[in-house]
């Protein structure tokens, strides 16, 4: 909703705060953006603002920042059995009686016909 199309703006002075906020949110939504509020340690405020500014920019730098942040926040991937066991042991099920030993019995005969 643009400022010109809002009924309160026609010969009635400035828009009330609620209407200005609604207009702002409508403009954000139409541009594919969303307002986010976060609580961070005081020392990280500048970092978060810079991160948000770079992510808003449509540049190759913003793409690189996005890739770096996504990879930094991605859950770890287990590539070996040991890594899988370590990953599972670090999970919330730590302390549960789970058996991670491999079944070493001979394979069973399978009827493939």
Asked whether residue 112 is assigned to any structural domain, the reply reads: no
CA–CA separation, 98 and 113 (whole Å): 36
Are 19 and 49 members of one domain? no
Region 36-61: mean pLDDT is 91
CB hemisphere CA count around 62 (13 angstroms):
9
pLDDT of residue 45: 95
What burial class does residue 76 get, using C-beta atoms within 10 Å of its C-beta: 0-12 exposed, 13-18 middle, 19+ buried?
Answer: exposed
Claim to verify: residue 45 and residue 27 sit in the same structural domain? no
Q: In this predicted structure, what is the pLDDT of residue 2? A: 47
pTM recorded for the entire structure? 0.49
Task: Specify whether 9 is located in the same domain as 48.
Answer: no
pLDDT in tens, 14-29: 889 999 989 988 998 8
Spatial distance between the Cα atoms of 111 and 100, rounded to a whole number of angstroms: 29
48 and 89, same structural domain?
yes
DSSP letter for 41, please: -
Q: Mark whether 26 and 67 lie in a shared domain.
A: no
Cα 33 from Cα 21, distance rounded (Å)? 15
Q: Which residue has the tokens 């890594």?
A: 83
- The continuous run of DSSP H or E covering 6 comes out as none
Do 59 and 85 lie in a common domain?
Answer: yes
Can you give the pLDDT at residue 74?
82
Tell whether 107 is covered by a domain: no
Q: Are residues 45 and 83 in the same domain?
A: yes
Helix, strand, coil fractions of the chain, as percent rounded to 5: 50, 0, 50
């Amino acid at each position: 909703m643009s400022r010109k199309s809002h009924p309160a703006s026609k010969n009635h002075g400035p828009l009330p705060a609620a209407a200005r906020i609604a207009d702002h949110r409508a403009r954000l939504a139409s541009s594919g953006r969303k307002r986010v509020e976060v609580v961070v340690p005081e020392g990280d405020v500048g970092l978060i603002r810079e991160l948000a500014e770079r992510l808003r920019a449509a540049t190759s730098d913003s793409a690189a920042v996005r890739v770096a942040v996504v990879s930094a926040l991605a859950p770890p991937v287990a590539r070996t059995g040991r890594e899988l066991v370590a990953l599972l042991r670090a999970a919330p099920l730590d302390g549960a009686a789970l058996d991670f030993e491999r079944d070493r019995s001979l394979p069973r005969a399978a009827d493939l016909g």
